[in-house]
């Protein structure tokens, strides 16, 4: 006998993580556009703290963009997801607090395909929560690498180059960060 719940879609979590300039947002956008081509209903969210590309789009460093809803908290996502939605995209997931993990898990348990992208390490080279927690519960984890601006090797770290603060979150792009490999990365910069 087939269990009753088998007639409902099985949700899943897909995590795309890596350093800055590694193509995380571009991969997220690619997957979301493919879902839309397949006539799945897609909703996309981004944190309000990410002010680099305006409030109505997620944008890769290569200029690829996709319309998104800006939210201030993870719980706002739950309130805005429509019943007909099959696929949910969330960019810059590291900018949300720890409650995002429960929200994403709940959406997947509701049968949604949830695709998220975010930094897995901060500017010190330390795990950037909540991404490690999401990696633990995700069905699929894709780690993408950039190219080290110093030596050309595969880069998995985000070097902060702006004389700034020790704050973990400083929103910026090429004016504030560089992709670096393990050898060229300097956590004491």
Q: Where are the domains of the chain?
A: 7-147
Any idea which architecture 7-147 has in CATH?
A: 3-Layer(aba) Sandwich (3.40)
- CA–CA dist 61, 77 (Å, integer): 24
Tell me: the pLDDT tens digits for 20-67?
999 999 999 999 999 999 999 999 999 998 766 566 888 877 778 899
Q: Which tens digits make up the pLDDT trace of 114-148?
A: 999 999 999 999 999 999 999 999 999 999 999 99
Q: Please determine, for residue 100, whether its predicted confidence score (pLDDT) is greater than 70.
A: yes
Tell me the backbone φ, ψ of residue 60, rounded to 5 degrees. -80, 165
Catalytic, out of 14, 27, 92, 129 = 92
Rounded to the nearest 10°, the torsion over CA 26, 29, 35, 36 is -140
Dihedral class, residue 111 (left if φ above 0, else alpha if ψ from -120 to 50, else beta) = left
**Helix residue spans in the chain (DSSP H):** 24-37, 74-80, 99-109, 131-137
Instruction: Please give the mean pLDDT across all residues of the chain.
Output: 89
Q: Tens digit of pLDDT for each residue in 148-184?
A: 999 999 999 999 887 766 655 555 555 678 999 999 9
Catalytic site includes residue 92: yes
Res 36: pLDDT: 96
Q: What is the pTM of this model?
A: 0.89
Map residue 101 onto helix, strand or coil: helix
């Amino acid at each position: 006998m087939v269990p009753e719940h088998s007639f409902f879609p099985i949700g899943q979590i897909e995590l795309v993580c890596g350093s800055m300039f590694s193509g995380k947002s571009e991969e997220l956008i690619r997957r979301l556009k493919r879902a839309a081509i397949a006539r799945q209903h897609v909703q996309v969210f981004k944190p309000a703290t990410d002010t680099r590309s305006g409030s109505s789009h997620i944008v890769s460093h290569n200029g690829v963009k996709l319309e998104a809803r800006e939210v201030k908290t993870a719980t706002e996502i739950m309130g805005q997801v429509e019943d007909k939605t099959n696929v949910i995209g969330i960019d810059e997931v590291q900018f949300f607090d720890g409650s995002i993990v429960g929200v994403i898990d709940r959406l997947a348990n509701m049968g949604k395909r949830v695709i998220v992208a975010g930094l897995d390490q901060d500017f010190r080279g330390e795990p950037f929560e909540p991404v490690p927690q999401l990696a633990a519960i995700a069905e699929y984890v894709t780690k993408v690498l950039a190219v080290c601006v110093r030596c050309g090797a595969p880069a998995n770290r985000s070097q902060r180059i702006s004389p700034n603060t020790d704050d973990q979150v400083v929103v910026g792009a090429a004016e504030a960060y560089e992709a670096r490999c393990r050898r060229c990365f300097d956590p004491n910069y």
